[in-house]
Structure 1
Amino acid sequence: MKQAVFVILDEYADWESAYLSSMLNQSDEWQVQSASIKNMVSSIGGFHTSVDLTLNQISSDIDLLVLIGGNSWNVEDTKLKNLVDQRLDNNQPVGAICGAVDYLAKNGLLNKHKHTGNSLYLWNEFDNYTNGQNFIEKQVVRDQKLVTANGTAALEFTTEVLKMVQFNDDNSIEKQVALQELGFYKYSEKYGNPFA
């Protein structure tokens, strides 16, 4: 079984993980777990979440590491930085959205990849970020085994991460996400009733 681990910190953005985690978790081929710096975190939406793993318990050979944004990514944690750095060096799949991309920039972890984020100007004072020429003003960017997205791109992020890990063929992934993007009635007009 393939394993995806979602790193969530206090005041994590609930909506940024919802589509991706639920699509992965409904597959018989994937297991989804959460991880954090502490055992209990709260989301921006007020959900109190008991996490499955500490950062030390994340296996180096998991199939996907996802960093969910929020308001606490100014954290300084060597374990987390090393985990992401090793995965990027080993070309292992990593997805980061919103504040988590800010974290990557601040720690110099975007310097070898094309990427996006909330806004380039937010990173002007990050001494370790030296790759502004590869910042792309798009909702989501996939480069090698890294997907980055801004905080308004939960659906686009879901699509690109699913494609990166070859969850299904690209057309099937786009169609699956389109149900959420278009809504039931427009989706049904375009593709037919998915529940019929």
Structure 2
Amino acid sequence: MTRTAHVVLIDQVADWEAGHLLAELNTGRFIGEPWNVVSVASTDQPVVTMGGVRWLPDIPVADLDPTASDLLIMPGGIGWQPGREEVFVAVAEQFLDAGVPVAAICGATEALARAGLLDNRPHTSAAKVALEATGYKGGAHYRDQRAVAEDGLVTAGPQSPVQFASATLGMLGLMSAELLEAYDAVFDRGDPSAFPVLMSG
């Protein structure tokens, strides 16, 4: 049965932050088989990304059910602000409570922090000071890493889209440690010698 990933389209979503992850899930080129990628927004109207692309959501957030999903992806974006983010944060909490993985990057991690969802979970973000500005209480669980994947939650900063992808794919068990190392080598370090390893997977 084909698995499904839901990706949140906040206002002015950051196109690039989940780009690597979405490409690997949708094509299945290095993970064995493609996933369904379903976009979710607060309404059925197109969302304009930070790159100026008009992205038509597949479903409204009101129709999103964690039991019908295998992953919630939360890219960053300008829309992660109090008064605009709460409906998506509530969905993230439902996913975590249901044991369905959540992958959040950049501004989405700040939204989770504001809601208290990082107070007791290992995590990272753009920088510790960025989360401290939210007033959250999870500083003791902050890790100075490009991406953190633990307890069904992946977090990363905007400078780490490749690590965000590899951490999520690893947490989901979709790529071996060898393939993940090759993935980082090719897409983060620009080492083409690792590409045959990826293709052999």
TM-score (norm 2): 0.86
- Contact 1:14–1:44 (Cα < 8 Å) also in 2: yes
Q: Does 1:67 align with 2:74?
A: yes
Match for residue 139 of structure 2 among 124, 129, 132: 132
Shift of 1:44: 1.1
Stretches of structure 1 that go unaligned for 5 or more consecutive residues are: none
Shift of 1:51: 1.0
Stretches of structure 2 that go unaligned for 5 or more consecutive residues are: none
Match for residue 111 of structure 1 among 99, 115, 119: 119
| Corresponding residue SS for 1:4 | strand
In the superposition, relative to structure 1, how do residues 90 and 42 fare at CA in structure 2: closer, same or farther (>3 Å)?
same
Counterparts of 2:117 and 2:197 in 1: how far apart (Å)? 43
Deviations 1:68-102 (A, max 9, x none): 00111004354323221122223320000000001
Partner of 1:4: 5
- Contact 1:73–1:103 (Cα < 8 Å) also in 2: yes
Counterparts of 2:181 and 2:26 in 1: how far apart (Å)? 17
User: Structure 1 residues 173-182 or 93-102, which shifts more?
Assistant: 173-182
Shift of 1:147: 0.5
- Contact 2:8–2:88 (Cα < 8 Å) also in 1: no
Partner of 2:185: 178
User: Structure 1 residues 43-52 or 150-159, which shifts more?
Assistant: 43-52
| Corresponding residue SS for 1:182 | coil
In the superposition, relative to structure 1, how do residues 29 and 45 fare at CA in structure 2: closer, same or farther (>3 Å)?
closer
The alignment yields a C-alpha RMSD, in angstroms, of: 2.1
What is the total number of aligned residue pairs between the two structures? 192
Counterparts of 1:18 and 1:125 in 2: how far apart (Å)? 27
Match for residue 157 of structure 2 among 143, 150, 153: 150
- Contact 2:182–2:197 (Cα < 8 Å) also in 1: no
2:171 corresponds to which letter in structure 1? M
Counterparts of 1:13 and 1:85 in 2: how far apart (Å)? 21
Partner of 1:30: 35
- Contact 1:187–1:193 (Cα < 8 Å) also in 2: no
Show structure 1 runs of 4+ deviating over 6 A: none
User: Structure 1 residues 149-158 or 170-179, which shifts more?
Assistant: 170-179
Match for residue 89 of structure 2 among 56, 81, 100: 81
Deviations 1:102-130 (A, max 9, x none): 10001111112011112222333534x21
| Corresponding residue SS for 1:178 | helix
| Percent identity for Structure 1 against Structure 2 | 28
1:178 corresponds to which letter in structure 2? A
| Corresponding residue SS for 1:35 | strand
- Contact 2:179–2:197 (Cα < 8 Å) also in 1: no
